[in-house]
Structure 1
Amino acid sequence: MSAPDFNLLITLDVLLNEGSVARAAKRLRLSPSAMSRALARLRETTGDPLLVRAGRGLVPTPRALELRERVSQLVQEVEAVLRPAEQPDLMHLERTFTLRTSEGFVENFGAALIALVAAQAPGVCLRFVHKPDKDSTSLRDGTVDLETGVVGKAASPELRTQGLFRDRFIGAVRLGHPLGDDAITLARYAAGSHISVSRRGLQTGQIDEALEPLGLKRRIATIVGGFSMALALARGSDLIASVPERHTANLRTGMHSFELPLSVEEFTVAMLWHPRLDADPVHRWLRGCLREVCGQAANGAL
């Protein structure tokens, strides 16, 4: 059995409303002969003449009258499905979004994002989950709605991404640290005791790669899995934490921050989501909230 031609539903709906092949053809921008052929197909498909001549016009058969309301409703439902999604009523929206971010991102941007969302959509709940790696499975399987981070090679190529802000590494030490007494030279920086930040527990990273051509090497005193832990340790010791500037702006309050005395490449913090949510108006609104919060954040001036 061949698949039904659903375009015939629209043709039938117009024919039953107009009661005229000529008027139906004009409404659908078809020639009268094309509309006559469509009516012939409808008669063959339904097994009923549908419209029969009465004087100079056409009148519907009992079967056509029976179908008229159902066909009209089906056409309206199809049009609603294919119509672009309407803007949601945010004040009455109830929905929970799961965001996969680093702890530092939540600590620096989370409060402002929650406040903005609550002001516009009080029924929306944000669930923040830990980001132990860059695996994209949770975005693909729908357990995570939105993710933030530096887009790496491990990210799935089908994901949508949009940059939120550019960031750079700076140094941070406790107030009263010896590095705060004078100009921070490359030699003084490298000679200190450092905290390495690595989710995988690696001892060296981007900063060490920048020091190597200069013939210098940091002394790594400890390795931690996140920037907030690094800053907590630096705040209570003479250790040096090298952290992203904007990403840690709130966390460095009450500490001495300084520009690194070497060139380290900047990077982009982005948000990532699965294509199936790209056109969802509520998800699009949430992405706008995140862009606004990150755009309004302080520039991280030292």
Structure 2
Amino acid sequence: MHNSDVDLNLLLALDILLAEGSVTGAARRLGLSASAMSRTLARLRSAIGDPLLVRAGRGLVPTPRAAELRDRVHELSREARAVLRPHNTQVDAAALEMTFTIRVSEAFLEFLSGPVVTAVAQAAPGVRLRFAPKPDKDARPLREGLVDLEIGLLGTSAPEIRTQFLFHDRRVGVARVGHPLLAGEGVTPERYAACRHVVASREGDVVEPIDGALATLGLRRAVMVIVPGYPDAMRIARQSDLVALVPRSCLGNAMANDHPAMSGLASFEPPLPLPSFRISAMWHPRMDADPAHRWLRNMVMSVCRTAYPPR
């Protein structure tokens, strides 16, 4: 028999034959007739070039070659059954020992990484989290396995990427406590436009949705400072008379002004309606069915939905 003609079904039969030491016993376990099992033993003898089981009185005993193969064949048979068995979808988080790389924005890292780290550490102390910067929406790191999970706005360059909605976000205004804008008749479009502004933009673009809304009223705001991220914009607003627009998620749970993120700052509703946006988790399809990865996704989702429940 040529190697290319080997019937791998014989592996299981050989394992049971060597374990039973009996054609009749092996036939019973495999649900075959004794004659069919005898034919299988004949095929095994031909394939291996050894009698394997020989007559000794009223029973059969293994040859030295069969005794040599017994443990190895049993292990191979066990591994083959494991490969063909449905994948276990359960995971013991406490027993996990691995590193996950999560690509996030600077704002997520500053305001939501803490709760995620705490939740993961409590459930899976052997898991290490590596937060990677997110300079763009390029899907290549997910495709190449450099990143396990990405959090943020959906990109458009990779339709095969799996996504899971986390929470709705929207922009709110922040200014230092005691800022003149927050006094008097409230935040009107005119008073807002009259302020000086700091804008967060990694690409340097200063045009935001509120600029179009102001333009319909014949108003224009003065952008004095451009910074790479929202935490930078909040820092400058806290230390100056500039005002900023930042995602609600930057302000902590329920936009509480006593939240640590709001120290020295007060939040206000923009004077004109602005569209909300969706924050999602993204991953490559090859990780979709992985139990450990699914556990991580569910953990991140739970933290985000607790911090920012659906409204």
TM-score, with length taken from structure 1: 0.82
Equivalent of 1:259, from 264, 269, 272?
Answer: 269
The aligned residue for residue 119 of structure 2 is: 116
Q: 1:48 corresponds to which residue?
A: 50
For 2:282, the aligned partner's letter is L
Paired residue secondary structure (2:117): helix
- Conserved? CA contact 1:145–1:273, under 8 Å: yes
Question: CA distance change for structure 1 residues 207 and 46 in 2, over 3 Å: closer, same or farther?
Answer: farther
Does residue 197 (structure 1) correspond to residue 200 (structure 2)? The answer is: yes
Is structure 2 residue 143 aligned with structure 1 residue 133? no
Corresponding residue for residue 281 of structure 2: 271
Match of 1:96 in 2: 99
* One-letter amino acid of the structure 1 residue matched with residue 45 of structure 2: R
Question: What code does the residue aligned with 2:17 have?
Answer: L
Task: Measure the CA separation in 1 of the matches of 2:41 and 2:263.
Answer: 76
Gap regions ≥5 residues in structure 1: none
Q: State the 1:287 CA deviation.
A: 2.6
Change in Cα spacing, 1:213 to 1:70, as seen in structure 2 (3 Å) is same
Q: What secondary structure, in the 3-state scheme, does the structure 2 residue paired with 1:2 have?
A: helix
TM-score with structure 2 setting the length:
0.80
**RMSD (Å), alpha carbons:** 3.3
Task: Kindly provide the CA deviation profile for residues 125-165 of structure 1, in whole angstroms up to 9, marking residues without a partner as x.
Answer: 322222211122223333333221111113x3333322221
Question: Which of 117-126 and 230-239 deviates more?
Answer: 117-126
Deviations 1:16-66 (CA, angstroms, capped at 9, x unpaired): 334455654553455767656644543332233444577887654443333
Classify the secondary structure of the residue corresponding to 1:44.
helix
Amino acid at match of 1:295: R
Contact persistence 2:98–2:126 (CA under 8 A): yes
> 1:167, CA displacement in angstroms?
0.9
Match of 1:284 in 2: 294
**Partner SS, residue 164 of structure 2:** strand
The worse-fitting range, judged by mean Cα deviation, of 42-51 and 224-233 is: 42-51
Change (3 A) 1:299 1:64: closer
Judge conservation of contact 1:167–1:247 (CA < 8 Å) in 2.
no
**Paired letter, 1:124:** V
Q: Is the 8 A contact 2:167 2:304 kept in 1?
A: yes
Determine the C-alpha separation between the residues in 2 that align with 1:24 and 1:137: 53
Instruction: Determine the structure 1 residue equivalent to 2:91.
Output: 87
Please give the residue correspondences for 1:22-41 in structure 2 after superposition, counting only pairs within 5 Å. 23-29=25-31, 38-41=40-43
User: 1:236-295, CA deviations, whole angstroms, 9 ceiling, x for partnerless residues?
Assistant: 222221111024425334422122233322222122233343444433333333223212
Deviation at 1:214, TM superposition (A): 5.7
What's 1:228 paired with? 231
1:179/1:17 CA distance change after superposition, 3 Å: same
Equivalent in 283, 289, 307 of residue 297 of structure 1:
307
Distance 1:248 1:89, change over 3 A: closer
- Percent of residue pairs bearing the same amino acid type: 53
Q: Aligned pair 1:146/2:149, yes or no?
A: yes
| Aligned residue number for residue 257 of structure 2 | none
Q: Write the deviation string for residues 177-196 of structure 1: whole angstroms up to 9, x where unpaired.
A: 22212232334334433322
User: 5+ unaligned residues in a row in structure 2: which ranges?
Assistant: 253-259
